[in-house]
Structure 1
């Protein structure tokens, strides 16, 4: 009897284990509910519309209106002599040290915007330049003069006097989509006009620390030194942005480039041509975002707002009655969600106009009316890198 149990025991045990595994894997065999999942399947394509196998038509329409820039500036540096390196000598005679003057040249690009000869480029390309040479694709060269610049958006407007200028077709930067084809046209490294292709990687990029007013188009089209001020165009050859900056550890293109949307560039250009400068509204406040800690201290968890960190003396905000520590809830009916958006809203307001500012002070809601002033000009200094130039 014992031998018989041993003879059938192992096969029986193996059978039970197999049955348990089958039940666990296929519960529907014993009436259990099977695991279910849903897949979203793409419709079967009956006919496809292939993309263009060439962007030559777009390039031929846009490229003639992209010019190469060659700028020169005088740079003064103290002459390096053994005695001048002495810290004591530098302390007492630094102002009277002999200085060496030399010419420094740089490369860039510009876009011909109108037959009257107005060009758009970057401020950091032309800032402090002694001479700006514009070289057109058709072989003509001429000197350009700076009509005006706006360091806060890193844009500059140039003027040249040539006949029969090729003009770029202006596109719609506010209707582009992530994934759209983008072409960058410029003069990288001075090799001559070059076209690179990529896609729109993102829109509305800000808080990069490049400019005061940031609303960048991000693209992976290769942008390198010399591309600054050149054109970013769509698949039809229409201008959608002015190539401006890159993020790179090596100094070369790593697929993260930024362009100023043409809509913003045109606003700046129009203001410079009409007024000689960009006129922006100004409140005279420094603000910061409402962090979770600050929201808890204000008792405003989950509610948007910006905190007044500082008020300029005798500025529009101080005259209206705002104080440091006030929590701004809305400006002229628009919710104050973050400091950059709210200050951009004020900048778009015409100086002299009045706006209502809803705040919270010591838990009490208040409303002030401020007369928007004109933003003081900013010194035309070269913006911080990363810039492809």
Structure 2
């Protein structure tokens, strides 16, 4: 049974309940003051609390999509190696291969011409050799005869860390939201490329070209757009691509739009931070390279580099988000450049979670749509 399976959650809950009942039932028998009785009480309490915490952890994982499998949880994913080998063999299907397709859930109608389509894909970077799974949302218009020669704008959508790409589809509802907004005329039809920034799991690379390690920034700035352009009808001119993400993905989105405005005409960070952290999940990202460290610090970049010709969106909450004051300061610093454009979504309250981001995504997609060209 998989980590995200409802059966696993139900099993954990049932075991926790049984242990609780068993503890109440057996407690009188274990009331004696000998080592066996004391050990029994300790064992029952410990087992009950462990299963309770396991139940809560599994439920939280299902709600927020932190880990996709047991291997992902324990940092023992093995599927990436297979895809890297495929790249080394030349990739007969190109740098992007479709694994499966599914209808967009939660919208009326049937068939891709009515609902659009979500394709699960494998992407392999031709220059970085980074391999990662992703989901691609194609709007209904992509399949309609009258649009057969049309290209579409595209937005890369990133999760936080660790996150799962599937959560962008199932929990944050990006495809459903994009389909509904376009249907109601509130945004133009767009292709969404949804993945997590953790392209070298379990390491959190913070979208940095790590010296001697994963070249993550190059993957998102060059390899990913090239792979998508080779497979789908996406606009090729500057201004056709945007990028959006939450938390770690929000930091990556802002950084990539600022570093590569010729690729990403707009970048939206939902609950972002503005400087790459160094902690046990990242390891040593910069290997003593002060220039690389500085360029990954968005405060430093705005102060010391020419202002990029791009549009940025940031979000926060007055109550519930730790980045509120930093976000206000970032807005002021961007405004002072007189070239980079900045917009914001500031909620009255909202924590660092899916519910908050679901409240921000419709307005974010509308904003993104208004800044991208389909040519």
TM (normalized to structure 1)? Answer: 0.22
- Which structure shows the bigger proportion of residues in strand conformation? 1
When Rg is computed on C-alpha atoms for both structures, the one with the higher figure is 1
- Which structure shows the bigger proportion of residues in helix conformation? 2
TM (normalized to structure 2)? Answer: 0.23
